[in-house]
Structure 1
Amino acid sequence: MLTAPQSLLRERLIKALSVPAGPSSDHDLDSLPLAATEPRPAGVLAAFDRQGRLVLTKRASGLRHHPGQIALPGGKVEPGDDGPVGAALREAHEEIGLPPSQVEVLGVLPAHRTVTNFAMTPVIGLIRGDFTPIPESGEVDEVFAVPFAHIADPASYRIERRRWLGGWRSYYVAPWGPYYIWGATARVLHALALRLAQ
């Protein structure tokens, strides 16, 4: 059973998911060309808990790719997954101990093309009932939740830039407390915030 905040949130998210929008990429802000090779499909889970908070992870500091970064649970589509939705649910179970049966999937946002050449599909969902995260120590240093008001407000996001591969790369950030939410995670959450604001 959904809590009252979740019932209202469910309506808002379903409405936001109905807003037409095209795909996005990490190169949008700089108009850089995309990789010529076909991107690898992936799914990430943007799941909101009983209090309407978005569950995020801080990636393990020992990982080869994106160590210590803030991320949505998820990963590449593996054989046997039911596409990006299945990958997002499987990875959330592996990374933070969230049972797929506890997630109500509301829909997906258009795939986001990352600089690492993934076509990352954000899966939007609600967590039914109580949930205590169990971080997978090899992949996740921390699991935390961010209030919906921060995620849903376009004013929470700003554009920053840094030197990357001999040039400048621009990206969205949405810092919250000690957490620096940026890059592809901030980009897809910003797209969701714009839809929620309509």
Structure 2
Amino acid sequence: MSSPAVTDTRNQTDRPIAPLLADRWSPRGFDASHEIDRDDLLSILEAARWAPSAGNTQPWGFIAARRGTPEFDQIVAALADFNQAWTPRASALIVFASLPERAGRMTAWVDYDLGQAAAHASMQAEYLGLRVHQMGGFAADAIREAFDLPPGVLPRSVMAIGRHDDSDDVPARIRQRDASERVRLPLSDLLIHRA
């Protein structure tokens, strides 16, 4: 007997999944008046810290900055043009970096592990009633220079965190993108081998 599709969440999943996951999405419209509490930001980073890692090597590092700080502005300056247009309204930005030299013989899993850390951070933010948007559109060299990163620290992604806003304060093109229907490939297209 098949489980019914979940319909009381933002995403119309084909099978029931945890509501926290079924409600997750990545808006670009953030409430520019929302200030993230320092403890909330630290709890998001703590969730990332406790992500699984191959051999417990924890091959990751984070740069976290709240809006209104020079560090926040330095991260925004390193973003691609479109991302620079909406991220200043976010409450905080986190740079996720990999540290391959920390991985030892587990080097093959560094990026997988970093992705786990970002996913854990994302879910903690959702748990706190916040939204995140992850980005690959940024200049890693600009981040490296702005924060004087050692050669082994490789910026891989940037996460914007904040409270979603769909009011007229948010530019129309951002509101339109945020309101568009979310779709995923059917699970049958993703299964390489059926169980």
- Using the size of structure 1 for normalisation, the TM-score is 0.28
Higher strand share: 1
Higher helix residue share:
2
